[in-house]
Structure 1
Amino acid sequence: MPGLYDILSQPFVTLFVVIALGLWLGSLQIRGVSLGSAGVLFAGLVVGHMRQSVPEDVLSARPAVLSLPPTLTELGLLLFVYAVGLHAGPRFVPMFRSRVKAYLMIGLGSIGAGAVTAVVLGHLLKLSPSLTAGLFTGALTNTPALAAGRDVVQRLAPSSAAEVSVGHGLAYPFSAIVIVVLVQLLPRLVRQSPEDAARHAAREASERQPAIQSRSFWITNPNIAGSSVAEFHRQGLTRATISRIKREGVVYPALPEMALELHDAVLAVGPETELAKLQSILGRSADDVSMEDASGRVTSEVAVVSSPSVVDRPLGQALTGAFADVIVTRVRRQGIELLPDPALVLEPGDALRVVGNPEVVRRFGEYVGSEQRRLSETSLLSFAVGVCLGAVIGMIPIPLFGGVQGKLGLGGGAFIVGLLLGHARRLGPFRVFVPEPVILFAREIGLVIFLAGAGLEAGRQFMEVLRIAGIQALLAGAAVTCVTALVTLALTHRAFRWNVLASAGTLSGTMTNPPALNAATSLAHSDAAPLAFASIYPVAIIAKIILVQFTFLAARLWQ
């Protein structure tokens, strides 16, 4: 019969005990505020501190008691940021392009303010430059910056390199937990409901990617009469798609060979600007005319692409032969609606809105797939290769000034690769297809594994670190966290007038704080927070790697 310490020396027992306790703790609410997933970090701190009460002879015999291997913690972080990158990738490019200057200003301004605060407080409190650099990386919860800080200190002051880790361990827990609480309080502080922010974000998204709508028109232009639907579309006068024709009270699918006649009513689908062009060509609006078919001759269904025979083929090739009479009015991919361009290459999970004869539509759905089993399968080969590639990129040295080298770290590298793969959806010859439930699971399990490991490690050292560094260092780290957060929110909410979800996501990304992103995502059903996090994260991680060296060198010069 194994004893208690035998059980607690099993890493997976410790891991899931901490996760279970932390999630229970995170579910408790005080005035509507809860720790959420950050409860796992707090539970890890407590359990890690309890390790100090384990007898020395037990620790000598069972060194793994109440601890996790560092590689397991790194795996959790890698899975989390890789999943966040995959999720945000499809929408990242248009978002970042529209706000690139703002994200650069926020990232450099807020993190620069944190670095200056660390240097000033380090000088006033007579803290060592190495400890000051560590407080900066811990207050901004960034491990790659910690590695860069240790590197520069090892080169210039090797005897004090350990103090960087001491400062990081002291400032990290406060920052990780306080930012989570701040994110949850943010809607009250700025007096904006997350639901209103979600609607505002949806309107902004529709401006970047115009929503596809449907409208009806009367054909009153005699120059159009006699042209077939196919001939009209080939002229390229508008990108709107005519899907139905109503003639003498009867609704027909707009088959390619069908002629357009005066006084026909047509139903068209496309962005508002394209529909406006179509109205100017055809005639006048017929929005008061019902285009529904009660006879059963016309149906509209959604066909989801899953069959290997159509994946990676242009849409136009799928609409030939027996399916030439099928009309595709829109394509929904990763939550984004696209126009049915014949050159659009089909991907697994694409949802095609199809109009036509019911029997033909049914057979087309079978042709393209619509198999839930296939859609729930993950391309594990491309997923694994992407994670591996991210880890390799994270280890590549980045030359900086003074002969110092920095690295993105496993998390930074995995995030960048996940973001690029989520956008490109390909990795060489491999199709990257990860179902949304798999991405969400990888994000959640990765986050709680990382928080459990980080909490256990910090809890084991926290009191000793506090004894070495003193309460002054703890307060200095807290001040760096608060200044960075306040400058971030001042820029996002006051200067740029962003909604509360974008502000919460940007704050989480600026602080490179995974549990804060989880808290921001749970505020409302919207992609605004993850997109803001993804947009600021690369700027933040590179800025911290560079500015931790400035922090150390400036503190050393001012000593």
Structure 2
Amino acid sequence: MELLRNLFEGFPNLWGGGVAHSVLILSLVIACGIILGKIKVAGISLGVTWILFVGIVFGHFNLNLDEHLLHFLKEFGLILFVYSIGLQVGPGFFSAFKKGGFTLNMLAITTIFLSIVITIILHFTTGTPITTMVGILSGAVTNTPGLGAAQQANSDMNGIDAPEIAMGYAVAYPLGVVGAIFSLLILKYILNINTSKEEAEAEKGLGHLQELTVRPVSIEIKNEAVDGKKIKDIRPLVNRNFVISRIRYHEGKQETELVNSETALHIHDKILIISNPIDIEAISVFFGKQIEMEWEQLNKNLISRRILITKPELNGKMLSQLKIRNNFGASITRINRSGVDLVATPNLQLQMGDRVTVVGSELAVSHAEKVLGNSMKRLNQPNLIPIFIGIALGCILGSIPFMFPGIPQPVKLGLAGGPLIVSILISRFGPQYKMITYTTMSANLMVREIGISLFLACVGLGAGKEFIETIINEGGYIWIAYGVLITVIPLLLTGIIGRYVCKLNYYTLIGVLSGANTNPPALAYSNDLTSCDAPAVGYATVYPLAMFLRVLTAQLLILCLG
């Protein structure tokens, strides 16, 4: 019994209660939290946030860690979490501002701005400390890195932790999840959505997704000006990004063939083109008219296969340098990077981990596979040097003070903002300098989950001692209402603006709103409403910027009003 008591409460003669005690408490908090996170009510789960609540319970009963060890593990977990997020979102961070993504990101910024305004109004009208309000804000928009950034900023400014930040977060988070989903449901009725019409448009990639996705289209050539011309001569005339994948000649043998730059086109030939939806109409008008064709049924000798780029020497090379079509008779038609399909233009730079769609005969595709790699074993080897160099640079960047007019204290990016910015920059620009920054999705997810689990467990343990007292005797239950206002009002207002001003498709809109709140349960709900990928594309387009702004604004609120 004495052994068990010491394991749970700590060995009195050992620093921090002993290693066994610390590991046991952390392991139990994380394991119990993850188990509870599997439970769904009406299809909704709080996921890993249960770790925070289990930590609060353990902390309340004084099953805790040494405060210095708790602080270190919390910050280390936060660094791992935000750095892995940066590696994931980095490749698409800057491209999300181009053309179609600009409007979506402006809407996300509107949502973030409105939530901050409501937070500041509640702070001044109710007298609630800004530390508590920032915790409520982070919980209401389900943004855990924002919670960490606020705690880091407060610690740097005042030299102490503020448990009320974690308390506000814990109180507001559950209704932050439910309130976001409820808001998306309300918007459906406020906007009088015809779901079948919206889904049909979303599946075609119309609207604001036209430049963020790719689509195959079959075309019969009717333009006499094209007759007899080679593809390399036609491309400058069209002035659009497209790839011609296959051709079926009008005369001669009726099987489909792959094309290359020397292939000549003739009237009534049928071609398969891959391009962005925004360019499809112009391309179709130039060549002829769109038709329906089952290409896979016309030539059983041609296959299509997705191949992973796993050879380090290909990192940063342009697609035209591979000469896949000339050397092997295979064709690369599209490239999937970080879940987004790109048109395989000759000047596109490749990155480790890209998935390229290769079309050709079995032999040609096999040869292309050898050139590209397609070795999961090679990808499974972790590239730890860029990770730890990036974390070190992130800590340095996060510690540099910046002075801004009107802010008495120097602003630091902190251990949330610094590693996040460095990881975004490294993952985006590293391949141009032959730096391999790719990690497999499973490896990235493992690092992220370990980081967030450590962080939430330590936050819960630190806040547990005063949590019940604050909620019951100090009016903490009112924070729930504040959280609901911060969650619901910005989503409804931005949803109305997005629909009536920006003319967004409903499924794209709810994906954008979910991304603006960095809310995975809301995205899961949005995906369940439709078979198209419009919510996921909208979410992925705004998520990088929304995450960055949530982290930065949480710190600025503490520094400006703390």
Structure 1 pair 505–284 and aligned structure 2 pair: CA distance change class (3 A): closer
Match in the other structure for 1:207: 210
Q: Could you tell me which of 488, 510, 525 is aligned with 2:490?
A: 488
Hey, what does 1:75 align to over in structure 2?
76
Instruction: Note the C-alpha offset of 1:176.
Output: 3.6
1:104-145 Cα offsets, whole Å, 9 max, x none, are 4433332232122122222xxxxxxxx723323332343433
The answer to whether the 8 A contact 1:138-1:477 is kept is: no
Give the partner amino acid of 1:534: P
2:13 maps to what in 1? none
**Residues 122-521 of structure 1: matches in 2 within 5 Å?**
122=127, 132-141=129-138, 142-149=147-154, 165=162, 167-168=164-165, 170-183=167-180, 185-188=182-185, 190=187, 206-218=209-221, 221=224, 223-233=225-235, 238-247=240-249, 248=252, 249-272=254-277, 274-287=279-292, 292-294=297-299, 296=301, 298-319=302-323, 323=327, 325-400=329-404, 401-426=406-431, 429-462=434-467, 470-472=473-475, 474-475=476-477, 477-497=479-499, 499-508=509-518, 517-521=519-523
Choose the corresponding residue for 2:38, options 14, 27, 36.
27
Aligned equivalent of 2:55, options 36, 41, 44: 44
Q: Which residue of 1 aligns with 2:121?
A: 116
Letter aligned with residue 77 of structure 1: L
- The letter of the residue matching 1:413 is G
Could you report, residue by residue, the CA deviation over 1:384-427 in whole angstroms, capped at 9, with x for unpaired residues? 22222222222222324253123232122222333334444548
Q: Is the 2:219–2:288 Cα contact (8 Å) retained in structure 1?
A: no
1:319 positional shift: 0.9
Aligned twin of 1:59: none
Aligned to 1:58: none
The structure 2 residue matched to 1:535, chosen from 499, 521, 545, is 545
Do the aligned partners of residues 219 and 117 (structure 1) sit closer, same or farther apart at CA in structure 2, a change above 3 Å counting? Answer: closer
Name the SS of the counterpart of 2:314 in structure 1.
coil
Q: Would the alpha carbon gap of residues 98 and 345 (structure 1) be closer, same or farther in structure 2, given more than 3 Å must change? A: same
Structure 2 contact 56–465 (Cα < 8 Å) conserved: yes
Residues 272 and 45 (structure 1), Cα distance of their counterparts in 2 relative to 1, 3 Å cut: closer
After the TM superposition, which of the residue ranges 227-236 and 34-43 deviates more from structure 2?
A: 227-236
Contact map agreement 1:78 1:410 (CA 8 A) in 2: yes
Q: Check 1:444–1:246 CA distance in 2 against 1; reply closer, same or farther (3 A cut).
A: same
Q: What's the CA shift string for 1:248-301, capped at 9, x where partnerless?
A: 2243322444443444333333234545444444444554586744463x4433
Cα drift, residue 220 of structure 1 = 5.6
Q: 1:290 to 1:484 in 2, by over 3 A?
A: closer
Shift of 1:13: 1.6
Is the contact made by 1:325 and 1:356 (CA closer than 8 Å) also made in structure 2?
yes
- Specify every segment of 5 or more residues in structure 1 that has no aligned partner in the other structure, as ranges: 53-62, 123-130, 155-160, 509-516, 553-559
Q: Distance in 1 between matches of 2:446 and 2:275?
A: 35
For the residues of structure 2 that align with 1:12 and 1:490, how far apart are their CA atoms? 44
What CA distance in whole angstroms lies between the structure 2 residues aligned with 1:281 and 1:272? Answer: 15
Classify 1:149/1:362 alpha carbon distance in 2 versus 1 (closer, same or farther; 3 Å).
closer
Q: 1:198 to 1:5 in 2, by over 3 A?
A: farther
Aligned to 1:545: 555
Shift of 1:15: 1.3
Looking at structure 2, the residues matched to 266 and 533 of structure 1 have their Cα atoms a distance apart, in angstroms, of 36
Contact 2:255/2:299 (<8 A) preserved: no
Which whole-Å CA distance do the structure 1 matches of 2:380 and 2:462 have between them?
Answer: 36
Write the deviation string for residues 401-456 of structure 1: whole angstroms up to 9, x where unpaired. Answer: 25312323212222233333444454855221122222222232222221111111
Residue 87 of structure 1 aligns to which amino acid in structure 2? Q
Distance 2:411 2:69 in 1: 26
Structure 1 residues 524 and 23, CA gap change in structure 2 (3 angstroms): farther
Separation in 2, partners of 1:191, 1:409? 39
Structure 1 counterpart of 2:531: none
Single out whichever of 331-340 and 536-545 deviates more from structure 2.
536-545
Shift in Å, 1:69: 2.6
Tell me, yes or no, if the aligned pair for 2:258 and 2:360 is still in contact at 8 Å.
yes
Q: Say whether the 8 Å CA contact 2:305–2:357 is kept in structure 1.
A: yes
**Cα deviation code 1:216-245 (max 9, x no counterpart):** 323561x44443344444666554333333
Q: Which runs of 5+ in 2 are unaligned?
A: 11-19, 139-146, 500-505, 528-535
Amino acid of the structure 1 residue aligned with 2:386: S
Secondary structure at the counterpart of residue 358 of structure 2: strand
Counterpart amino acid of residue 505 in structure 1? G
Answer whether contact 1:45 1:459 (CA < 8 A) is retained: yes
Q: Deviations over 1:509-539 (max 9, x none)?
A: xxxxxxxx34335435535446544333333
Between the aligned partners of 2:488 and 2:284, the Cα distance in structure 1 is 50
For residue 403 of structure 1, give the secondary structure of its aligned residue in structure 2.
coil
TM-score (norm 1): 0.78
Deviations 1:182-203 (A, max 9, x none): 345555555589x999995975
Distance 1:172 1:288 in 2: 54
Equivalent pair of 2:315/2:434 in contact (CA under 8 Å): no
**1:458, CA displacement in angstroms?**
0.6
* TM-superposed deviation, 1:46: 0.6
For the residue of structure 2 that corresponds to 1:440, the secondary structure is helix
- Partner secondary structure for residue 346 of structure 1: coil
The percentage of counterpart residues that share the same residue type is: 22
**Closer/same/farther in 2, CA of residues 368 and 100 from structure 1, 3 Å limit:** closer
Looking at structure 1, the residues matched to 363 and 498 of structure 2 have their Cα atoms a distance apart, in angstroms, of 53
Query: TM-score if structure 2 supplies the norm length?
Result: 0.78
2:143 corresponds in structure 1 to none
Q: Secondary structure at the match of 1:405?
A: coil
1:316 deviates by: 1.3
Letter in 2 for 1:212: R
Secondary structure of 1:303's counterpart equals strand
2:533 corresponding residue in structure 1: none
Q: Aligned equivalents of 1:410 and 1:16: distance in 2?
A: 24
Shift of 1:44: 0.6
Relative to structure 1, is the Cα distance of residues 403 and 433 closer, same or farther in structure 2, using a 3 angstrom cutoff? Answer: same
Q: 1:45 offset after TM fit, Å? A: 0.6
Root-mean-square deviation (CA, aligned residues, Å) is 3.7
Q: Which amino acid aligns with 1:540?
A: R
Q: 1:349 to 1:171 in 2, by over 3 A?
A: closer
Pick the structure with greater CA Rg: 1
Distance 1:426 1:69, change over 3 A: farther
Take 1:279 and 1:184, find their aligned partners in 2: how far apart are those partners?
40
Structure 1 position 42, deviation (Å): 0.9
**Counterpart mapping for 1:55-94 below 5 A:** 64=65, 69-93=70-94, 94=96
Measured in 1, the distance between the counterparts of 2:24 and 2:206 equals 47
On the 8 A contact 1:198/1:524 being kept in 2, the answer is no
Residues 335-344 or 210-219, more deviating: 210-219
1:204 Cα offset (Å): 5.5
